[in-house]
């Protein structure tokens, strides 16, 4: 039994193997891009919203509301980043009900890439919001002895994100395979429903944690805020 989509190779292009992870990632990207274009093609004040536009606006407003509750300094760019993470992961997971679908999030390379994106976004947002001097100074707070621990903490965050997402997706696949061997007619329906719920929850948790990490990097310390007020 192949547990990771990396093991399934469909074809090669110029000697480069296109496995299930790459192919289904492209499919998810095409679905999200195509749906965005179709839903927003008549995005004008004089055109009343249809049901799909209403659904999209509800999703965007919900994500923005979650960001506003977490971040003390809401940034529109954070909506784009966290929203993209959520939509990619949730779409990849929800399509698992399609026969033959291999979720890209079931590959450690995909989850590691998503975690790496968050790892890179944290200092970028931090520098953009607070300035490079103030952001780098946060690594030696409360004193310079904490520098290596703060650096290790940053990398451990990205590692924990990758392992958490990969572990949950793969554990679901293993449990489903075991149950299918025991009762192949009843358990598929149950596992599909459980997989849908788990997929949404994991996408939500990943996006929320990314928002928390970025918000902590962009937050102004209380001591700095007090100086600004005086």
Between residues 154 and 84, the one the model is more confident about: 84
CA distances from 151 to 36, 119, 148, 154 (A): 38, 11, 5, 5
pLDDT of residue 222: 52
Q: How confident is the model at residue 74 (pLDDT cuts 50, 70, 90)?
A: low
Q: How far apart are CA 38 and CA 68, in angstroms?
A: 28
pLDDT of residue 227: 44
Q: Residue 39: helix, strand or coil by DSSP? A: helix
Summarised one tens digit per residue, pLDDT across range 137-182 is 777 777 777 788 878 877 777 777 777 776 666 655 555 555 555 5
Would you say 125 and 49 are in contact if contact means Cβ atoms under 8 Å apart?
no
Q: How confident is the model at residue 224 (pLDDT cuts 50, 70, 90)?
A: very low
Summarised one tens digit per residue, pLDDT across range 27-36 is 999 999 999 8
Q: How far apart are CA 127 and CA 168, in angstroms?
A: 32
- Asked if the model's pLDDT at residue 4 lies above 50, the reply is yes
Summarised one tens digit per residue, pLDDT across range 30-58 is 999 999 888 888 777 777 777 888 888 88
- Please state which of the ranges 2-16, 62-76, 99-113 shows the lowest mean pLDDT: 2-16
For the chain, what is the domain count?
A: 1
Summarised one tens digit per residue, pLDDT across range 5-24 is 777 788 888 778 888 888 99
Expressed in percent and rounded to 5, the helix, strand and coil fractions of the chain are 80, 5, 20
pLDDT of residue 177: 57
- Asked if the model's pLDDT at residue 1 lies above 60, the reply is no
The number of residues in the chain equals 230
User: Comparing C-alpha atoms, which of 85, 206, 86, 104 is closest to residue 157?
Assistant: 206
Q: How far apart are CA 215 and CA 81, in angstroms?
A: 12
CA distances from 157 to 66, 118, 122 (A): 20, 9, 10
Domain range for 191: 5-229
Question: Average pLDDT, whole number, for the chain?
Answer: 78
Question: Token match 């698992």: residue?
Answer: 96
CA distances from 94 to 86, 124, 139, 203 (A): 12, 31, 39, 10
Would you say 97 and 29 are in contact if contact means Cβ atoms under 8 Å apart?
no
If you average pLDDT over residues 105-114, what whole number do you get?
A: 84
pLDDT of residue 53: 82
Neighbouring CB atoms inside 10 A of 130's CB total 20
pLDDT of residue 229: 35
């Amino acid at each position: 039994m192949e547990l990771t989509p990396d093991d399934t190779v469909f074809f090669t292009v110029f000697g480069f193997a296109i496995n299930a992870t790459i192919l289904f990632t492209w499919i998810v990207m095409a679905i999200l891009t195509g749906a965005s274009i179709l839903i927003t093609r008549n995005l004008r004040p004089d055109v009343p919203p249809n049901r799909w536009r209403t659904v999209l606006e509800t999703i965007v407003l919900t994500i923005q509301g979650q960001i506003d509750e977490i971040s003390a300094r809401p940034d529109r760019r954070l909506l784009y980043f966290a929203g993209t993470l959520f939509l990619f992961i949730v779409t990849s997971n929800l399509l698992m009900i399609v026969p033959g679908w291999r979720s890209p999030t079931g590959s450690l390379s995909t989850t590691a890439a998503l975690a790496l994106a968050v790892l890179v976004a944290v200092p970028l947002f931090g520098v953009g919001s607070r300035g490079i001097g103030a952001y780098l100074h946060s690594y030696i707070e409360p004193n310079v002895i904490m520098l290596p621990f703060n650096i290790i903490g940053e990398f451990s965050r990205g590692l924990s994100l990758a392992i958490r997402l990969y572990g949950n997706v793969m554990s679901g696949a293993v449990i489903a395979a075991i149950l299918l061997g025991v009762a192949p007619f009843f358990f598929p329906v149950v596992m599909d429903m459980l997989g849908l719920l788990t997929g949404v929850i994991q996408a939500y948790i990943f996006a929320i944690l990314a928002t928390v990490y970025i918000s902590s990097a962009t937050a102004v310390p209380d001591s700095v805020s007090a100086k600004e007020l005086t």
